[in-house]
Amino acid sequence: MRSPRAKPSSSRTRVVVVTADPPFADLVRDTFRAAPQIELEVIDGALAAQADAVAAADATVVVIDLNVAGADDMAALEALTARLDGWPPVVTVTDVFDKEVMRQLLKLRIADFLVKPVQPVELVRTCARVVQTPAAGDTSEAEIFTYLSAVGGAGVTTLAIQTALLLLGSGTQKTRPATCLVDLDFQHGACADYLDLEPRLDLGEIEPRPERLDRQLLEVMLSYHASGLAVIAAPCRPAEMRSFDPEIVTRLLDLVSSHFNYVVIDLPRTWFPWTDNVLLGSNRVYVVSELTVPGIKHAKQLVGAIRERLDEGPRPQVLINRFEQSLFGTGLRKRDLDQALGDDLLATIPNDYRLVREAIDRGVPLDEVKPGNRISAQLRKIVTPAQATERAVEPTAKRRLGLSWARG
């Protein structure tokens, strides 16, 4: 059983719903009660009478139960969208939907729309999606961060999740970058479990016809954390050892990279036929190990193997996770790491097992359990966009080649 979740803070997603329909208001309250990281305010009444309250509500997402048959509500919606000027995004819910309604909503640049009866999961997913959807016309390349483990139990999943959450929060509330976490460990992946999400990637549906995978099907297979982080993960199959056609993974990552600003990949230790392409398509590759002699040896061997196989790929760098060293203690020290790994060592990640365990058990980010913790602070130095740009050492031509799988 999971521990009770923390009380929502003002930095979380704030959904404001305006409705004159009591059953829909009850549905909304029941839906978001199960997602305590989302702060909910329900404004009772028609939009025409509550537009000022909506505009002053300091929302992250506005959901409007719209009476499309009433001219007052449509006029109020037009005035409200002009007043909000693109932020926060507006989602409309209607009883009926036709071409004329669609034309009006598109003209007003509504972020998304739903038709009653609304499924609770679809309402939550829609709110999460519109907050972190890239702006129209944004065609910049996705920045791709890939984590893989040199030894078992090194904490790769925890670091990948925290990296994705840090990247998601690297912009302002209005310019929050679209960020996707991709769990490619189809046998033992744990990203969805760590975030308390239902894994929705159905590989059996994609495998016979990879070309069917488009934006619409991808959306069905995405899970959304309450923070707005999109997650791609398949249900665990620990007793199955399957090697998929590389085209499936290539097409999946191609699609993801074209719709998100940042992509973080949790890569399995087993080397599959598609592993080379994933690494070539990455901007940053982090090899994660632990502070043991075998762990350091395996990290050095893995870095060497990647360089040998992928001469023109990104330079892999080593992170030593759960690093701690007492002043007078025995065992390996930082200077031993420097001597063994040299320039391949990027950084050490502090050890705080109790913090990580609590975050995992509650399905929440580390910063929600303990703001300003040392693990998040160190990761922020490593992976925030400004730092990553400064440390980029590969020539532009090489990085373009590395992203060739994402360009089809």
For the chain (length 408 residues), average pLDDT per consecutive 10?
35 78 86 74 82 79 80 80 80 77 74 81 77 51 90 91 88 69 91 90 80 76 86 83 75 85 93 89 93 92 91 87 72 82 91 90 86 91 64 40 40
What are residue 197's phi and psi, to 5 degrees? -120, 160
What pLDDT, on a 0 to 100 scale, did the predictor assign at position 391? 43
CA 349 to chain centre: 21
Give CA torsion, residues 80, 82, 83, 88, to 10 deg: 80
CA 358 to chain centre: 20
Q: How far apart are CA 219 and CA 129, in angstroms?
A: 9
CATH superfamily of 14-131: Response regulator (3.40.50.2300)
pTM: 0.65
Residues whose CB is less than 8 angstroms from the CB of residue 15 and which lie 6 or more positions away in sequence, other chains included: 32, 38, 39, 40, 41, 59, 60, 61, 62, 63, 127
Q: How many Å is the maximal CA-CA distance in the chain? A: 76
Contact criterion met (CB below 8 Å) for 13 and 37: yes
3-state secondary structure of 148: strand
- CATH 3.40.50.2300 positions along the chain are 14-131
What pLDDT, on a 0 to 100 scale, did the predictor assign at position 176? 64
Residues whose CB is less than 8 angstroms from the CB of residue 16 and which lie 6 or more positions away in sequence, other chains included: 40, 41, 43, 54, 57, 59, 61, 62, 63
Give CA torsion, residues 155, 156, 159, 165, to 10 deg: -130
Look up residue 297 and give its two tokens.
């040896």
User: Vertex 244, ends 143 and 148: CA angle to 5°?
Assistant: 45
- CATH 3.40.50.300 positions along the chain are 143-407
Q: How far apart are CA 237 and CA 234, in angstroms?
A: 9
Tokens 């990637």 sit on residue: 201
Question: Cα separations (Å) of 370 from 15, 168, 191?
Answer: 24, 18, 20
Q: How far apart are CA 226 and CA 362, in angstroms?
A: 13
Q: How far apart are CA 248 and CA 235, in angstroms?
A: 16
Which of the following CATH numbers is that of domain 143-407: 1.50.10.20, 3.20.20.70, 3.40.50.300, 3.30.420.40? Answer: 3.40.50.300
Contact criterion met (CB below 8 Å) for 156 and 147: yes
Which uninterrupted H or E stretch holds 274?
none
| End-to-end CA, the chain | 44
**Radius of gyration of the chain measured on its C-alpha atoms:** 23
